Amino acid sequence: MKTLLQKIGVGAALALVSGLVWAQARYNLQQPQTEVARQIYDLHTIILVICLVIFVGVFGMMFYSVIRHRKSVGHQAVQFHENTTVEIIWTVVPFFILIGMAWPATKSLLEMKDTSSPDLTVKVTGYQWKWSYEYLKGEGDLSGVADGVMFYSTLATPHDQIYGSAAKGENYLLEVDNPLVVPVDKKVRVLITANDVLHAWWMPAFGVKQDAVPGFIRDTWFRVEKAGTYRGQCAELCGKEHGFMPIVVVVLEQKEFADWAAKQKTASAAGGAQTDAAAGAAGQTAK
């Protein structure tokens, strides 16, 4: 039988924890879902703390000065204006602090650039104003599973929600008709390009952002640790609907992914002409 005090205590603790979690969600990077995203998150925290310490130190001194070295409390100006030793110290010390920051940053960057030995390769193409996903190649137990599957992924939020005549849905502006589906815990290499102007494919929870440059491919990769649905957005101004071409990635367990892929293949065998028609329609998309 819990006492009232215990109940209040538990309630307060829960509120505090959820408040902190909620606060984290609002004030910091999104919850990392890949090792790369986690490294970025930690790197940002370290740098932020270092900056805060320096900031408090320097402006602590400035505010001390503001309070104690005022004419109105009778402080007389001490006429010094040089001190070579101090100048050398505050040139050299920041330099070493920067080296300390650069070291882990370099390590993370090298990892982020390593696209070798992927389990699955997907081609992502940015259009005005949607994405297309084409599964190029699986390796190992993904071999042949989804190869050749291709579809467009367009914003699914209805026009009247945007223009105010309907209430906004739960995933307003971050929902699509056909999300990218990938298996969990597999290294997915994405080849990114664009059909018209610059776009950028950005998944905050994965720590992945890559510009889509028309006429060129760029590659990057991610390995998601937990199944779920993750949302991102286009991150390069691409015209009037730049804010309306989100990215949704559904991460499934291996077996569910294989089932999904099989269904896609049957569907596209049936409606094979449909993707070509869609491609033709894409050519007519207004600029």
Partner 1 sequence: MSAVIGHEHEHEHDHAHGHDHYPGGLLRWVKTTNHKDIGTMYLWFSFVMFLTGGFMAMVIRAELFVPGMQVVSPEVFNQMTTLHGLIMVFGAIMPAFVGFANWLIPMQIGAPDMAFPRMNNWSFWLLPPAALLLMLSLFVPGGAPGVGWTMYAPLTVQQGMGMDLTIFAVHILGMSSIMGSINIITTILNLRAPGMTLMKMPLFVWTWLITAYLLIAVMPVLAGAVTMTLTDRHFGTHFFNAAGGGDPVLFQHIFWFFGHPEVYIIAIPAFGVVSQVIPAFSRKPLFGYTSMVYATTSIAILSFVVWAHHMYTTGLPTTAQLYYMYATMLIAVPTGVKVFNWVATMWKGSLTFETPMLFAIGFLFLFTIGGFSGLVLAIVPVDIQLQDTYYVVAHFHYVMVAGALFSAFAGIYFWLPKWTGKMYDETLGKWHFWLSMIFFNMIFFVQHFLGLAGMPRRIPDYAPQFTDFNMISSIGAFGFGLSQLLFLYVVLKCIRSGEKAPQKPWEGADSLEWTHLPTPAPYHSFETPPTVK
Partner 2 sequence: MNRAAANRTILIKLLVVAVGMFGFGYSLVPLYQKICEVTGIYDVEKASAAPANSQVDESRLVTLEFDANIRSDLPWQFRPLQTSVKVHPGQLVQVMYEVHNRSDQAVAGQAIPSYGPQVAGQYFRKLDCFCFSTQTFAAGEVRQMPVVFVIERGLPRDVNTVTLSYTFFRVEGAAPNAARPRGGRSAAG
Interface of this chain with partner 1, residues 185 to 224, rule: CB under 8 A: 196-198, 200, 202, 204, 207-211, 213-216, 218
Q: Which lies closer to partner 2 via its Cβ, residue 14 or residue 277?
A: 277
What backbone phi and psi angles, to 5 degrees, belong to 267? -60, -45
Q: Which lies closer to partner 2 via its Cβ, residue 146 or residue 176?
A: 146
Which residues from 124-143 bind partner 2, rule CB under 8 A?
125, 127, 136-137, 139
For residue 213, what is the enclosing H or E element? none
Query: Two tokens at 117?
Result: 């030995």
Q: Which lies closer to partner 1 via its Cβ, residue 115 or residue 254?
A: 115
Q: What is the CA radius of gyration of the chain?
A: 26
Three-state DSSP at 283 gives: helix
Dihedral sign computed on CA atoms, order 143, 145, 149, 154: negative
Q: Which lies closer to partner 1 via its Cβ, residue 51 or residue 277?
A: 51
39, 120, 123, 180: which one contacts partner 2 (CB under 8 A)? 123
80, 255, 280, 284: which one contacts partner 1 (CB under 8 A)? 80
Question: What span, in angstroms and rounded, lies between the C-alpha atoms of 184 and 223?
Answer: 7
Question: What span, in angstroms and rounded, lies between the C-alpha atoms of 113 and 123?
Answer: 17
For residue 23, what is the enclosing H or E element? helix 4-27
> Which stretch, 65-73, 94-102, 112-120, 167-175, contacts partner 2 (CB under 8 A)?
112-120
Q: Which does 94 bind (CB under 5 to 8 A by kind): partner 1, partner 2, none?
A: partner 1
Query: Two tokens at 68?
Result: 């104690």
Question: What span, in angstroms and rounded, lies between the C-alpha atoms of 136 and 147?
Answer: 5
Shortest Å distance, C-beta 215 to partner 2: 5
Query: Rule CB under 8 A: is residue 282 a binding residue for partner 1?
Result: no
Q: Residue 138 pairs with which residues in a beta bridge?
A: 120
Dihedral sign computed on CA atoms, order 164, 169, 171, 174: negative
Query: Rule CB under 8 A: is residue 147 a binding residue for partner 2?
Result: yes
Q: From residue 32 to residue 61, what is the string marking binding to partner 1 with x (rule CB under 8 A)? A: ----xx-xx--xx--xx--x--xx--xx-x
What backbone phi and psi angles, to 5 degrees, belong to 25? -65, -30
Shortest Å distance, C-beta 136 to partner 1: 18
Q: Residue 233 pairs with which residues in a beta bridge?
A: 202
Query: Rule CB under 8 A: is residue 75 a binding residue for partner 1?
Result: yes
Could you list the residues that contact partner 2 (CB under 8 A)? Answer: 113-118, 121, 123, 125, 127, 136-137, 139, 147-148, 189, 191, 193, 195-196, 214-219, 276, 279-280, 282-283, 285
